[in-house]
Structure 1
Amino acid sequence: MRLAPLALALVLFAGCAGTRPAAAPPASQAANGRGGAAKTGGPKPYAEVVTDEAVTDAGLFTVHRVGEKLLFEVPDSLMGRDLLSVVRIAQVPADLGGFIPAGAKRAEGVLRWERVGDRVLLRTQSYAAVADEALPIAQSVRVNNFEPVVAAFPVAAVAPDGAGVVVDVTDLYGKDTPALSGLTVAQRTRFKVRRLDEARSFVDGAKSFPENVNVRYTTTYDAAAPPSNAGTGTVSLQMFHSFVLLPREPMTARLADDRVGYFTVRQIDYGRDDQKAAEREYVRRWRLVPRDTAAYLRGELVEPVEPIVYTLDPATPERWRPYFCQGVEDWNRSFEVAGFQNAIRCEMPPAPGDSAAFDPEDVRYSIVRYVASETRNATGPSVSDPRSGEIIESDIIWYHNHIRSYRNRLMIETGAANPAARSLQIDEALIGETMRQVIAHEIGHALGLPHNMIASSAFPVDSLRSPTFTSEFGVAPTIMDYTRQNYVAQPGDGVTRFVRQIGPYDDYAINWAYRWYPDVATPDDETATLDALVAARAGDPVYRFSTGRGGYNPDAQTEDMGDDPVAASGYAVENLKRMVPNLVAWTSTPGEGYDDLAEIYGETLGMWRRYMGHVVTVVGGVRETPKASDQAGVVFEPVGRQEQERALAFLDANVFETPTWLLDPEILRRIRPTGAVDGLRRAQVAVLNGLLDPMRLGRLVEAEAVDGGRGGAAPYPLAAFMDDLRADVWAELDARRPAIDVYRRNLQRGYVERLVALLTEDGPDLPAGLRHLGVDVSQSDVRAAARGALRRVREGAEAGAGRTRDAATRDHLLDVAARVDAAFDAGGRGGAVGG
C-alpha cells in the first residue's frame, strides 16, 4: 500500500522572532510615486501601511504584524517562483482522531505569487501533467490544466525599493479558506459544523526564515457535535501554514522501478514520443551529492555536501534519546553501500536557554517528534518537490503510548522463549532496542521506503530458531516489513535477538536510489545502470519487493514471518499455549487490579486471529513476483492444491477443533463475568468468513479455469474445497457423533450464515485500483457452490436431528434446517430443497 507523504516539522513555539522596526520609504521614492500618494483605490504610501507600530521579521519574504493585521511583503523576485505549501494542525482538540496528532498534515501542494496590475494572486501549480516548454504541446498542457486561484489581494503598498509589494493576508487565515482548513468535509459533517466563527478565528503569529515563511493561526467553528467539550458547541484548532521555497532548478529525478520499493511522485509527460500519454514515476529521495566526486568514483567512502540531519524534539525523555538517535544513525550502514559516509546524523535537542541557533519552525531542521498522546503508533512523514521527488524536510512522530504496544507484544509474541519479556516493566535495554528499531523503520519511510511485506518470506522458518542466524540478520531482510518480534523461536532454541533490524534489502534499496552517477542530465541517462542493479539480484528472495496490496499473496502479509505461513503459525500457537497459563503471574502488580491482564489477553486473541489469517491467505492464494517484460517467467502464480489442503487441515486442527486452551478460567474469571464463549465464536467465525470470502472463492474458480490445463502445481477446484470445508465444520454429522458442543454449534451457525450471505451479496465494492480483484457472485460459480453446500448441510442436519438424543444438538440441527429453508424460500431464490 502507498502511504500518503506527511508534513514539515511541527511548530513548538508561537509568536514572531527576529523583530526589527519597519523602515520608512526614502524621500526619492515619495517623489517618484512609489512611496508617495497612492492613486484612488490603488496602493497607499508604504508608511501608511507598514506603520511605526509594525513588528517585522525578514527572511524568504518579509512579514509585518500591524495590530491584528498580517502583511506580507513579497519581492518581485519571488513572483512566479514555486513555493511548496504545507498546511498542518499545530494543536488539536481532544478526540479529534487517533491518528491526527499535533503536526498532522492537512494539505500539500505548490503555490505561486502572481502580480496582475494592482492585484496579487496566490495560485496553485500542479506538475501532474507536464511537457517540455520548447515543444508545441506545452501550450495545450497549460490550457487544459488551468489552475485555481486560492486567493487574491489588492496591492496595499509598494516596497520601499520598488521591487516588491505589500499585501494584507489577514483574511486568508482569519476566514474559512478551504485550502487552509483544518477540518475535512467528512469531519465537518460528523461534528455538525455550522460555520467558521470569524470573531474567534485569528492569526497567532508569523515567522520568516531564509527558505520558508510560517504562519500560525487559530480557527474556531460552531459545531453541534464537537469531538470533545460538547457543552461548548465549539471546535477550535491551531493551524500552521508553511511557504517553502523550492529550488529554481529541480534535482535530477530518478525513475521508479516496481521491483524496488519507493514512494513516488507521478507525472503525465505529454512531450515524450510514446504512442500514449506517458506516465512517469519518480522516486522520492533526499539530494545527496559527494563532497569529493573523484574519490567517490574511485570507490572511496565520501561524505555528502549536505548530510541528512534529524534533531530530537526537546520533549523527548532523556532516557530514550540515545535509542532514538541510534535508530536514525543505523541507516549509515546502508548509505555506505551507496558510497556515502556519515550521510545521516542525529543531533540532541539544544539545552534549555541555549536554543538561539535552533528553531523547529525553520525548514532547515528535520525533527524526531515526541507526541504526548494515547495513540499507539509512530509515523515517518516527509514533504517533497513534486517536480523531481526531492525530499525537502521530514518529521518522525513517536506517540508516547506506542511503548505500550511493544511492551504487550514482546510479552505475547516472545515471552515463552524470552524471559526478559515476562513483565509489565520490561528491562530498559530490551524496550529501548525495540524503540530504536521503530525509529529506524520510520526513518526508512522518511528516506522514501514504503512497507515491504514480502521480505520476511525470504527467511526459512527454521532459520528464525537459530541463535547465530537471528543475531546476524534479525527476523527479516528489511526493517520495512511488519515483522516486529520473533514469535517462531521456541524455548530452548537459545535465540537472544527477538526484534527486527536494518538488513540486506535496505542496503540494496538505498544503494539503488541514492548512489550518485556523473554526467546524468535526464532520468533516462541512468536507467540501464539501475536496471542492471536489479537484474543482478533477480531470483534472490532477499531482494524482492511487494506491499502486499490486494491480500492474495501468502508471501506478502503484514505481521508474518518466514517462508511457510503454516509452519510459522504452528510455532506461534505453541508459544501462545505456553504463554497464556502464565499471563496472570506476568501481568500482576501488587495493589492493582486486572486491567493489564484484560488488555493483554484481548491482544493475545487478536494475535491468534492474525496467525490464523496468515494461513487463510494460502487458500486461493496467488504469489506475485514483479518482473520487467524482458525477464523470463510469469508474474502471478496460483498456490497449488497440496499446499492449500495443508493450510485447510491446519485451520481445522487449530480453529474448527475448538482451541479451548484460549479459554483459561484463571484469566477469564479475573477479567469478565461473561462473554468468553461469544468472544471465541467471533474469532472462529472471522477465520471461517475469511475462507468463504467471495474474492478468495473467485480465485479458486479462475485458477481451475485458467491454470488447470497448464504446467505447474495443480489447482484446488472450488467444489473440492467446499466439500473439504463442509466436512471439517460438520464432522459430527459424518461421524454420526451423538452430540455437538456449544463451540461447534456456534461455528456451524456461522458457516450457515456466511453461505446464506453468498446467496444475496454481489461481492465487495472495491476501490478503482483493486476492482480487477473482485468477483460478481451472482454471475459466478460461487453462488451455485454456496447453494449446493447449504443443501447438503440441510440434508445432514435433518438426518442428524433424527438420530441424536442430545436435546441441544437436536434443537441446533432443526434450527439449521429451518435457517436454510428460510434462505431458500426468501424471494423464491432456492426452489425446492434437494430438487
Structure 2
Amino acid sequence: MLKKTVLSLLCCGLLAGTLGAFPAAAASKKKKKAKSEQPVSAPKKTSEYEKLFKEKHETADGMIRLHKVKGKLYFEFPVALLGRDMLLGSTVSEISDNGDAVIGSKPTDPLWIQFTRTGDKVQVRKLVRDNVTDAASPNIARSLASNNIGAIIKSYDIAAWSPDSCAVVFNATDLFLSDNKALTPFDPYGENLYYGRVTRSANYQSDKSFLGEIRAFGDNVVIRSHLSYTYTLKSGSKEIASDVPFTAVMTRSLVLLPETPYEPRFVDSRMSVFPTGKILFSEREQQAKLLCYANRWRVEPSDEAAYRRGELVRPKKPIVFYIDPDFPESWRKPIFEAVEQWNEPFERIGFKQAVEAREFPKDDPEFDPDNIKYSCIRYAPIGISNAMGPSWVDPRSGEIVNASVYVFHDIVKLVNNWRFIQTAQADKSVRSVKLPREVMDDALRYVVTHEVGHCLGFMHNMSASAVIPVDSLRSPSFTQKYGTTTSIMDYARFNYVAQPGDMERGVRMTPPRFGVYDYYAVKWLYTPVFDAASPEEVYKITSRWITEAAADPVLRYGKQQGAVLDPRSQTEDLGDDAVKASEYGIRNLRYILANLNDWVKDEDRDYSYRTDIYKGIVSQYIRYIGHVFANVGGIYLNEKHVGDPVDAYKSVPRERQRAAVLFLLGQLGDLDWMDDEGLMRNIQFMGSPKTYMQIAIIRAVVMSAVKVENSAQLSDDPYTVEACMKDIYDFVWKPTVQGKNPTEEQMMIQREYLLTVCKAAGLKYAGTGAVPKAFAGGPDEEIGFDPYAIAVPECLRGYQSMTDNLCYCGSEHVHSHAGADPGPVSGYNPPRILYVVKQSLEAENYANLLRVQRLLKSRVNSGSQKTRMHYALMLHNIEKTLK
C-alpha cells in the first residue's frame, strides 16, 4: 500500500514537472487557438417591447401598466384580466362653459366592458346582458352565453408582449382620445340646451385634443382626456349659435368589478327602489319574465354574531360621500348634516355609522373626486335652480358602485322662492329678500338629504303627502311630529296649508327629517336576510314584508306620473283633499301678493325679486288648480299582489270629482287678486295673468269630459260625462238662463266655452273664443286643450321648467323586452287602461252646441245693448260654424 501511494505521488510529480517544462510561447499559441475555436455570439436582438419603450416616457403602474409615449397611450394589459368585467366611466373635470356640463358630473352612464384577445388582436367589448337564467337551467345558461356575446366597439393590434409574457401591449389611444358618443362630455340636460328646447350638433377637433395625466392603482386606472369641439345650437330650424369653441377635460376611470358579484335582492313595483331590469329565462317558468334587482349599496355587518344579538354594529364598508371643498363656506354645515342624518334610519335596522360625510382627503395619493371609485357631493357655480342625485351600479347585481350629488348654485334661489311663496303668510321670518341663515341652512339640508336618498337607491314616492289629513297640517302636535309628508322622497315641500297665526301656535312649516315611509324603505332595502339560501328565498321573505304593510296607506308607494291619472301621486301637493288644501293655498297666495310690496320694498330696489316672486305666485296657483283638476276623471291605482288587501284600481268618488269641477268653475270669477295693478305697473310682467288663467281653466274643464269617461266606465257610482257636461253648462250659461246681463268675465267665458265645445265636436268655430290666438303667443293647442293638465302661460314655461322639479335622479326606466311578460313589476311602466272602449264625445258636444244655439235665440233680443250684441255675435258664429 505504501509503495502504491509513493508511486502515485511520483507520477503526479512527474506529470507536474512535464507540464511545467512547455515553453511559454507554445502555451500562448494554444490559448489563442482555443479562443479562436469558440463560436462567435450573435448581436443581442431588440424586442418589440424594448423598441416601443426605448425612449424615456411617462408610466403608471397598477391594475394595468400605462405608458404615455409621444402623445399615445399604450396599455400593458395583464393576460389575467382578459375577460374580467369592468366599468369605464367618464367625469367632467374642467370645462370651458359649464352650461354644457358641470364639473364633477358624469354626462353618460359608465360602459360595462371586457377586454378579450383573439390571436394577435385585443378587443374591447361592450356588454348588455339583460338576459339571465338560474342555477337550475344549465342548458339555457350555455345558450345565453353564445346569444349574449359582447359587441366589439374597439379592436387593437397587439404591438408587443411584456418581458415576462404575462401582459399584452396595445395602443389604446383612441378609446380615450376620440369623438366617442358613449363617453361624450356634453350633458344632455345642460343649461345651454334650455331643458331640451334647444338641440346641439358638435364637431370633434382632433388637432386640438390631447391626453393628459395618467394614473394607475390596484383596481382601477385613470386617464385624463383634453377634448375640443365646435358646436352649433338650434331652436327648431332657427340657428341661435354657430361654431362655438368648446374644450373639456374628462377623467376616464376604468374600474375592475368584483370577480363574484354581490348577491342581488329582487324588488317589485310596490317598493320605491330603483331597479336594474333583467329578463329571466328558466326551465322552471313557462315564459320569459321580467326580473328586477334592487339598486343598493353593499351594507354588511362587520360582526354578524353581534348583529344577530341585536347590537349596533358598523358595516364592513361604510357608504362614504366626499364633500367638495369649493362649496360656499356657509353651505358646508347643512350639507354634512344632510349626509350624516341618514344614519338615523340605518340605526333602526342595527347599523351604526353606515353613512359618512368626509372632507376631500389631502394626504391620500389615490383620491380623485372624478374617479368613479369615489362618491362625492359637488358644487356647480351656475345659475340653475336645481340639484341632482344620480347613481351607477354593477349591472350584474344592482350593487351601487358610485353615487354623486350635484348642487347648482341657484338652489338657494329656488328654496328662497319656495319658502317665501309657500310659508310667508305664516312665517314672519321669511318675509324678506334674504332668508335668515338658520332657515336657509334647514332648507339646504332638506334638499341634499333628498338627493342623498336617491344615491342610496330610493325613487320618488309621490303619494307620501296624500295620506295626511289637510286639517292635520294646521295641528301643532301633528306637524311637530310628522312635518308635511310621510317621506322626504316625495315632492311635498313646505306647509302652504298653514294660515297666518298658525306658526305662533306651534305649527311646523317644513318637511320632517325623515317620514314614516323613509324608515320603512330603508328597512326593506338594507336589512340583512341571513338564513335564506338564494335570492329567490330572500324575495319570499321581503315580498311578504310588503304584503303585510299593504293595508297601511302610509306605507304605499305612489309612482311619479307624466299625465296624472292617480291624483294621490302628484308633485308639490299636500294633504288628502286637493280642494280643501288648494283653498287654503290660494287664500295664502292672495295674502302674500297683497303684502309683497310692503314686505320687501326696501330690499328690492329694482323690482327683480318681486318680479320673480310674482311669477312664482302665478306658477304656484297653477299647481294648486292642477292638483284639483287631477281628481276630475281620476283613478286610484295600487300595485297589487295576491294577498294584498287593496284594490288594483278604483275611480275617484263621484262627489269628489264633482266638487273638483265646481271648485275650478268657481275660480273663474274669483281671480281679480291676480292682476295686482300696483305691482304690475312696476315690473316686466305684461298682460293679464287673471285673463289667461280664466281661459286655461275653462278650456281644461270643458275638455275634461274626456277624462271623466274613462273613470266613469270603471265605477259603480260614476260621475258621468252627461253629469259633468251639465254642471259646466249650468255654470257658464247661468246668467243667460236667468235673464241677467252677463259680466265682461262671463261673456269671455261664454265665448271660450263655444270655441272649446266646437273643437270637441270636431267643428272649426267661426269665432275667436275669448281672445285672438296671438294672446298666447301661439296656436290654440298651446293654451289648454290637453285634457290632463291646466295650461301654463307661455311667459312662465321657461320659469316652470327650472322650478317644477327639485332634482333629476337618473332614469327610472326598467328594461322592457318585446314579448316578455311584465309580471309583478309592471308598475315600473306607465299605467295603461286596457279594453275600455272610448266613446266619441263629438255628438254630445254637438248637442251642447245646439242647446246653446236655442238658448241664444231665445235671449238675443233681451238684456242691455251690450248683452244683445254679445248674444247676436255668438249666434252668428254658431250658425256660420254649422253651415
Normalising by structure 2, we get a TM-score of 0.81
Aligned residues: 772
RMSD across aligned C-alpha pairs, in angstroms? Answer: 3.2
Gap regions ≥5 residues in structure 1 = 1-30, 39-44, 709-713, 826-835
Residue 340 of structure 1 is matched in structure 2 by 351
Residue 41 of structure 1 is matched in structure 2 by none
1:368 is the counterpart of 2:380: no
Residue 691 of structure 1 is matched in structure 2 by 701
Residue 555 of structure 1 is matched in structure 2 by 568
Residue 68 of structure 1 is matched in structure 2 by 71
Residue 753 of structure 1 is matched in structure 2 by 755
Rounded Cα–Cα distance in structure 2 between residues aligned with 1:765 and 1:87: 39
Rounded Cα–Cα distance in structure 1 between residues aligned with 2:336 and 2:460: 22
**How far did 1:124 drift?**
0.8
Aligned mate of 2:210, from 188, 197, 202:
202
Rounded Cα–Cα distance in structure 2 between residues aligned with 1:639 and 1:706: 10
C-alpha spacing 1:161/1:615, structure 2 compared with 1 (3 Å):
same
Contact 2:107–2:187, Cα closer than 8 Å, also in 1? no
Residue 395 of structure 1 is matched in structure 2 by 404
Rounded Cα–Cα distance in structure 2 between residues aligned with 1:175 and 1:424: 48
Report SS of the residue matched to 2:681: helix
Residue 226 of structure 2 is matched in structure 1 by 218
What's the CA shift string for 1:379-405, capped at 9, x where partnerless?
A: 111100111110001101111101101
Residue 269 of structure 1 is matched in structure 2 by 280
C-alpha spacing 1:645/1:683, structure 2 compared with 1 (3 Å):
same
Residue 550 of structure 2 is matched in structure 1 by 538
What amino acid is aligned across from residue 275 of structure 1 in structure 2?
A: Q
Q: Which has the larger radius of gyration?
A: 2
Contact 1:62–1:73, Cα closer than 8 Å, also in 2? yes
What amino acid is aligned across from residue 756 of structure 1 in structure 2?
A: C
Contact 1:85–1:241, Cα closer than 8 Å, also in 2? yes
Residue 336 of structure 2 is matched in structure 1 by 325
Residue 701 of structure 1 is matched in structure 2 by 709
What amino acid is aligned across from residue 214 of structure 2 in structure 1?
A: A
Contact 1:73–1:159, Cα closer than 8 Å, also in 2? yes
Contact 1:486–1:498, Cα closer than 8 Å, also in 2? yes
Rounded Cα–Cα distance in structure 2 between residues aligned with 1:417 and 1:506: 28
Aligned mate of 1:772, from 828, 832, 836:
832
**How far did 1:247 drift?**
1.2
Contact 1:209–1:362, Cα closer than 8 Å, also in 2? no
Residue 149 of structure 1 is matched in structure 2 by 152
**How far did 1:667 drift?**
1.2
Rounded Cα–Cα distance in structure 2 between residues aligned with 1:423 and 1:775: 55
Rounded Cα–Cα distance in structure 1 between residues aligned with 2:529 and 2:151: 38
Rounded Cα–Cα distance in structure 2 between residues aligned with 1:418 and 1:185: 39
**How far did 1:556 drift?**
1.1
**How far did 1:146 drift?**
4.3
**How far did 1:588 drift?**
2.5
What's the CA shift string for 1:48-99, capped at 9, x where partnerless?
A: 22344321122332222222112222211211111122234444554856x8
Aligned mate of 1:313, from 294, 318, 324:
324
Matches within 5 A, 1:83-232: 83-91=86-94, 94=97, 96=99, 103-132=105-134, 135-182=138-185, 193=201, 195-225=203-233, 230=241, 232=243
Rounded Cα–Cα distance in structure 1 between residues aligned with 2:144 and 2:181: 26
What amino acid is aligned across from residue 200 of structure 1 in structure 2?
A: K
Rounded Cα–Cα distance in structure 1 between residues aligned with 2:96 and 2:732: 49
What amino acid is aligned across from residue 423 of structure 2 in structure 1?
A: T
C-alpha spacing 1:625/1:587, structure 2 compared with 1 (3 Å):
same
What's the CA shift string for 1:188-243, capped at 9, x where partnerless?
A: 99666374232123323333333322333233334454899946444444434322
**How far did 1:785 drift?**
2.7
C-alpha spacing 1:591/1:728, structure 2 compared with 1 (3 Å):
closer
Contact 2:433–2:604, Cα closer than 8 Å, also in 1? no
Residue 732 of structure 1 is matched in structure 2 by 735
Matches within 5 A, 1:345-360: 345-350=356-361, 356=365, 358-360=367-369
**How far did 1:776 drift?**
10
Residue 832 of structure 1 is matched in structure 2 by none
**How far did 1:131 drift?**
2.5
Rounded Cα–Cα distance in structure 1 between residues aligned with 2:378 and 2:200: 32
Task: Name whichever of 283-292 and 191-200 sits farther off.
Answer: 191-200
Rounded Cα–Cα distance in structure 1 between residues aligned with 2:240 and 2:845: 50
Contact 2:226–2:249, Cα closer than 8 Å, also in 1? yes
C-alpha spacing 1:158/1:323, structure 2 compared with 1 (3 Å):
same
**How far did 1:775 drift?**
11
Contact 2:92–2:248, Cα closer than 8 Å, also in 1? yes
Rounded Cα–Cα distance in structure 2 between residues aligned with 1:282 and 1:598: 47
What amino acid is aligned across from residue 516 of structure 1 in structure 2?
A: P
1:634 is the counterpart of 2:617: no
What's the CA shift string for 1:288-323, capped at 9, x where partnerless?
A: 000111111122221101011111111111211110
Rounded Cα–Cα distance in structure 2 between residues aligned with 1:673 and 1:268: 53
Report SS of the residue matched to 1:166: strand
Rounded Cα–Cα distance in structure 1 between residues aligned with 2:286 and 2:328: 57
Rounded Cα–Cα distance in structure 2 between residues aligned with 1:401 and 1:526: 44
1:293 is the counterpart of 2:304: yes
Contact 1:193–1:221, Cα closer than 8 Å, also in 2? no
Task: Name whichever of 575-584 and 597-606 sits farther off.
Answer: 575-584
**How far did 1:786 drift?**
2.7
Matches within 5 A, 1:590-601: 590=603, 592-601=605-614
What amino acid is aligned across from residue 832 of structure 2 in structure 1?
A: H
**How far did 1:332 drift?**
1.0
Rounded Cα–Cα distance in structure 2 between residues aligned with 1:765 and 1:116: 56
Residue 825 of structure 2 is matched in structure 1 by none
What amino acid is aligned across from residue 210 of structure 2 in structure 1?
A: F
Residue 662 of structure 1 is matched in structure 2 by 674
Residue 795 of structure 2 is matched in structure 1 by none
C-alpha spacing 1:298/1:817, structure 2 compared with 1 (3 Å):
farther
C-alpha spacing 1:746/1:60, structure 2 compared with 1 (3 Å):
farther
Contact 1:150–1:179, Cα closer than 8 Å, also in 2? no
Rounded Cα–Cα distance in structure 1 between residues aligned with 2:841 and 2:42: 83
What amino acid is aligned across from residue 306 of structure 2 in structure 1?
A: A
Contact 1:452–1:481, Cα closer than 8 Å, also in 2? yes
Residue 826 of structure 2 is matched in structure 1 by none
Contact 2:129–2:148, Cα closer than 8 Å, also in 1? no
1:254 is the counterpart of 2:265: yes
What's the CA shift string for 1:470-505, capped at 9, x where partnerless?
A: 111111111001011010111222245311131111
Normalising by structure 1, we get a TM-score of 0.86
Report SS of the residue matched to 2:113: strand
Report SS of the residue matched to 1:105: coil
Contact 1:138–1:271, Cα closer than 8 Å, also in 2? no
C-alpha spacing 1:54/1:819, structure 2 compared with 1 (3 Å):
farther
Rounded Cα–Cα distance in structure 2 between residues aligned with 1:823 and 1:770: 39
Residue 609 of structure 1 is matched in structure 2 by 622
Report SS of the residue matched to 2:632: coil
Matches within 5 A, 1:409-424: 409-424=418-433
Rounded Cα–Cα distance in structure 1 between residues aligned with 2:555 and 2:353: 25
Rounded Cα–Cα distance in structure 2 between residues aligned with 1:377 and 1:194: 26
Rounded Cα–Cα distance in structure 2 between residues aligned with 1:540 and 1:701: 30
Contact 1:226–1:235, Cα closer than 8 Å, also in 2? no
What amino acid is aligned across from residue 670 of structure 2 in structure 1?
A: T
Contact 2:420–2:430, Cα closer than 8 Å, also in 1? yes
C-alpha spacing 1:399/1:222, structure 2 compared with 1 (3 Å):
closer
Contact 2:415–2:440, Cα closer than 8 Å, also in 1? yes
**How far did 1:418 drift?**
0.6
1:790 is the counterpart of 2:849: yes
Residue 11 of structure 1 is matched in structure 2 by none
Aligned mate of 1:802, from 861, 868, 875:
861
Rounded Cα–Cα distance in structure 2 between residues aligned with 1:65 and 1:240: 16
Rounded Cα–Cα distance in structure 2 between residues aligned with 1:100 and 1:746: 48
**How far did 1:452 drift?**
0.3
What amino acid is aligned across from residue 680 of structure 1 in structure 2?
A: K
Task: Name whichever of 99-108 and 499-508 sits farther off.
Answer: 99-108
